[in-house]
Structure 1
Amino acid sequence: MCGLGYESDGDPKENSCHPRLSGSAKLLIGVTVGIFSTVVVLLATWLTSKHKELKAKKRELEALERKNGSEELQNVKTLTLFTKEELDKITDDYSSPLGHGGFGKVHKGILPDKTEVAVKASIKVTEYTRDEFVREVGIQSRMMHRNILRLLGCCLRVDVPLLVYEYAAKGSLEDILHGKENQQLEPLTLRSRLDIAIGSGQGLAYMHSYTENGIQHADVKPGNILLDRGLIPKISDFGLSKIFMAGKDYTMNVIGCLPYMDPVYKETGRLTPKSDVYSFGVVLLELISRKPVGYGESSLVKQFKRVYEQDKSGRVLFDKDIATEEDIPILDEIGRLAMECLEEKVEERPAMVSVASALVMLKDSWGKQ
């Protein structure tokens, strides 16, 4: 009887045993086994390396999350934490840019439930700005008012955090008032302008009363008032917003858009909710005149003050599209309210809640007429 792997051509007692496979076949098998073993070893090595790489990447992303405040923000129930992969899908790989925000491009996205959103870059978070970033994101996400652009969520597993806001289909009030390049101005009725003024004022008043000491926007201007499809205004861009601390309302870093800036803040660094009131007064002038704010002696504020002091009316500056004879009185009242907001002395300016209430009463009286 032949041993394992051997055979004979007849009776093993009469015929010698010989290998079942030829030498070349055995060589081929040996080479095949050797190659297979090498592939297995290489594959195992690659998989081990890939596993280590993925673990290192995961640790890196987790470190980014912690650096950007995930441990604190994951407890904010009004805030959704998105992964980068989710935002890539929501924005269709950032294929629909909406414009530029304060720190980078803004892109349109659509959530799984078909809600339209805007995704924008935030500030780069460092160990020195982390606490402030966490606090401001937490406050923004908890502010629930129809005239405050709602922060829905954020992505922290990136170098620069991405913020997800509700979408404002009509763009900014600046675009509506003054138009975009090569685009004709769309009509804007006095009623629409009053509603925009009222909504914006109520949004700011809500901010000023949100905490015990209030929150200042610090950069109120038409570019930071967004409008949805129904022209409902949404106060946006809280990059300069500050929680007002009594007795600590001065800053060495005066930042903002100069034509809208409270001169007291600009000259002294004193920032209060009344600084927003001043800026809102400039916005009111733009709403009734539809003229750009300008700079220096030719600025809209300087022009309107000169006309108002001389004629007790700003009618020569009112937008001709809304300055009908029967509506001149209501426009004058709005102009007078704007002048109160633009008072040089901070203490003589009305509070934002009073401004919003006055606008509501003006609209009611105008409606009755």
Structure 2
Amino acid sequence: MRTCTKLPMAPHLLAVAVAAIIAAVSLLVPRAAGYPWPFCGTSNDFKPNSTYQANLNLLAATLPKNVSASPTLYATAVVGAVPEQVWAMGLCRGDANASSCLACLTQAFQDLPNDCSYNKDATIYYDPCVLHYSDVHTLPDDDTGPTTLSYTINNNANVTSDPARFERLLAALVNATAEHAAYNSTRRFATGEADFDQEFPKVYTLAQCTPDQTPAQCRRCLSGLISQSLDGFQNNIGGRVLWVNCTWRYETAPFFNGPAMVRLASSSPPAPAPAPATAATGRGERKYSVFIVVLAVVLPTLAALNLVFCFCFWRRRRPVAHAKQSRKPMYSTEAEDMETVDSIMIDVSTLRAATGNFDESNKLGEGGFGAVYKGVLPDGDEIAVKRLSKSSTQGVEELKNELALVAKLKHRNLVRLIGVCLEQQERLLVYEFVPNRSLDLILFGTDDKREQQLSWEQRYKIINGIARGLQYLHEDSQLKVVHRDLKASNILLDVDMNPKISDFGLARIFSRDQTQAVTSRVVGTYGYMAPEYLMRGNYSVKSDAFSFGVMVLEIVTGRKNNDSYYNSQKSGDLLTTVWEHWEAGTVAELVDPSLGESFPEGDVLRCIHIGLLCVQGDPAARPVMSSVVMMLGSDTVTLQAPSKPGFFAGKSGTNTTVSADVSL
């Protein structure tokens, strides 16, 4: 995909021109499957329960209503004072109605804080709307914006054997649509349609700017966007490019509501020298003449001017543009990764003071990689410091790579990395402090009072939160991540019992088109590892789904899958027991006795059903996490009957992380 620096915009235009669409992902999946598209800033974070978050909540309650009530379906709002000020904008597609606009932006305010947890600067795109909020809402005059990435709907579906001519015809339609959006619509919105000839399918286009722009500003924004991206679609059946302040799109199938505002047509084959229009000229001939004028005069001139401007600003602004491009990278370089790690370095003296020199009284627990201590920073923030043991096999470089991964993953249901220290032979990871510690301790603890505190509503919230965190890792984050060590002890609970996935020491990055990987050395925890991973070293998002399913069944029953006492007294491991009761229709008998009768049986049975779907022996039969989230969120979704679980017959006992060689 070719890229070019965006033309400079006036300062009152929308602040951040967010690069969209995730090129590497959208080449591989259908258009609808990609929604929503969140983009998270990296410059500033806000703290939980802070003034910034309170201001954001105020905007969430008012902005969607203001946008849907506006005749232009566009509104901005600002709440609070610097530095906790929040500015936001909402824009709905020009063919949307007020109710769909309100629903879309309401959903956006629910999803974006989850996808971009604690980011002060974030944007999310849906098909009918876009939401953006930030602590900064103006750009300097010389801002050139980030490089725009675009996507093609189907990288292998060519429109015609004459791509050069199709691109010329498409360019005419796109520019005519952009012209109409800029000069003939108060919403700065237009749609187009062209039935060129029998060789090409019909083409449908859309162009839109934020309505606060003047016609000239809107046209300039769209011209820059079109000129630098149109040729990148290369004879595909559709494509789309998004900036926050303008967007364009085309497809060979209808996608907008209502009739097209701009229509072009041509004959086939084209006449070598079209006759001038006369009073007796028919309707179709007048369209063709207008088209020829646009193609022969306006388009080449416009393209030449855009090319000159683009080249000049690229030469003059290249250092600035490069800096901007690094703001929201989809896949960063090793140098950028190291820069990310360096930016969160904390000196060892600060952490020694925070933890009382790692005093035993501040020790929260200990795992395979070392002990974890509670600490308090000078500003009063509570932290959890993981002190990797000197016997750990992880090298510093490997640790830095893992840190670069974790630092880029930001979601409400993931533990947030705050800092790192690699000084004086110390290897320290600093995370947000999660007061309720691990799900393992609360669910399986010996303290009866603690166990009673976990109500069904809390358990359901935990199940749903873990699923959303996994969906982010597998499908929605900038990096496709397989955790490989999901278990109850790696799920931490905050003060409101919201779950946070932790411990990414064994996590692995997948490319977007990669479905699985094979290792000759299996690492994980007995009772949570999928059969194909334990026996053959095959791991994927479906092996994470297996681990999730085990946790669901543990949360509902209050029993460990690898509980040595329970397994020795009963017929076998937890999965075996649940499956036997499922077939007998008595699975409700397995619900944690501590819940008594205070639980909705339908919801409990649905969770058990979902858990069994996730632990099926065939990895292909297990649902992906976006499907799991949908199943949990709606009782109208019909669930398939589960097949027999991939039973784990092996070592019982504690949650021991194991490492073993397998024959491949």
TM-score (norm 2): 0.41
Partner of 1:260: 528
Partner of 1:329: 602
* Partners of 1:195 and 1:128 in 2: CA distance: 34
Partner of 2:576: 302
Q: Any conservation in 2 of the 1:72–1:134 contact (CA below 8 Å)?
A: no
The structure with more radius of gyration? 1
Relative to structure 1, the CA distance from residue 127 to residue 239 in structure 2 (aligned partners, 3 Å threshold; closer, same or farther) is closer
Give how far 1:74 is off.
5.7
Give how far 1:109 is off.
0.7
Give CA-to-partner distance per residue, 1:206-246, whole Å, 9 cap, x none: 11125566101111111000011111111001111111252
Q: Any conservation in 1 of the 2:520–2:537 contact (CA below 8 Å)?
A: yes
Moved more, 335-344 or 174-183: 174-183
Residue 542 of structure 2 corresponds to residue 274 of structure 1: yes
Partner of 2:471: 205
Q: Any conservation in 2 of the 1:79–1:152 contact (CA below 8 Å)?
A: no
Partner of 1:148: 414
Q: Any conservation in 1 of the 2:341–2:403 contact (CA below 8 Å)?
A: no
Where in structure 2 are the equivalents of 1:118-157 lying within 5 Å? Answer: 118-122=384-388, 129-157=395-423
Give how far 1:148 is off.
0.2
Secondary structure of the corresponding residue to residue 277 of structure 1: helix
* Partners of 1:343 and 1:261 in 2: CA distance: 12
Give CA-to-partner distance per residue, 1:322-350, whole Å, 9 cap, x none: 36387222111111111100110011000
Partner of 2:428: 162
Moved more, 343-352 or 208-217: 208-217
Moved more, 77-86 or 327-336: 77-86
* Partners of 2:573 and 2:515 in 1: CA distance: 33
Residue 553 of structure 2 corresponds to residue 289 of structure 1: no
Pick aligned residue for 2:369 from 69, 88, 103: 103
TM-score (norm 1): 0.73
Q: Any conservation in 2 of the 1:178–1:185 contact (CA below 8 Å)?
A: yes
Where in structure 2 are the equivalents of 1:1-369 lying within 5 Å? Answer: 75-76=339-340, 79-95=343-359, 96-122=362-388, 129-180=395-446, 185-210=451-476, 214-245=480-511, 246=514, 249-294=517-562, 298-311=572-585, 313-322=586-595, 324=597, 327-362=600-635
Give how far 1:87 is off.
0.9
Where is the helix percentage greater, Structure 1 or Structure 2? Answer: 1
* Partners of 2:398 and 2:444 in 1: CA distance: 35
Structure 2: runs of 5+ lacking an equivalent: 1-333, 638-664
Relative to structure 1, the CA distance from residue 328 to residue 299 in structure 2 (aligned partners, 3 Å threshold; closer, same or farther) is same
Partner of 1:58: none
Give how far 1:97 is off.
0.8
Number of residue pairs matched by the alignment: 294
Where is the strand percentage greater, Structure 1 or Structure 2? Answer: 2
Structure 1: runs of 5+ lacking an equivalent: 1-69, 365-369
Amino acid in structure 2 at the alignment position of 1:277: A
Amino acid in structure 1 at the alignment position of 2:583: E
Amino acid in structure 2 at the alignment position of 1:75: E
* Partners of 1:87 and 1:105 in 2: CA distance: 14
Give CA-to-partner distance per residue, 1:46-104, whole Å, 9 cap, x none: xxxxxxxxxxxxxxxxxxxxxxxx98766217952111111111212122111113311
Give how far 1:321 is off.
3.6
* Partners of 2:508 and 2:448 in 1: CA distance: 37
Amino acid in structure 2 at the alignment position of 1:305: W
* Partners of 1:259 and 1:159 in 2: CA distance: 35
Give how far 1:196 is off.
0.6
* Partners of 1:316 and 1:250 in 2: CA distance: 39
